[in-house]
Structure 1
Amino acid sequence: MLRASARHHNEDINLLGVGRPHVDVGLPGGRVLSALVEAAVLRDGDEMERARTQAIEVLGSGATARAVQVTGNFEMMNRLLDAVGVGPPDGMLAIGDAIGVPLPDRHR
Structure 2
Amino acid sequence: MVLDVGELLAAHDRILRGSGSAHPRFGTVVERIGPLTLTHYGTHCIVEHLALDASTPVARLAAQVRQSAAERVEPVEWRVFAHDAEASQLTASLEAAGR
Smaller-chain TM-score bracket: 0.3 to 0.5
Q: Which is strand-richer, 1 or 2?
A: 2
Q: Which is helix-richer, 1 or 2?
A: 1
| TM-score normalized with structure 1 length | 0.31
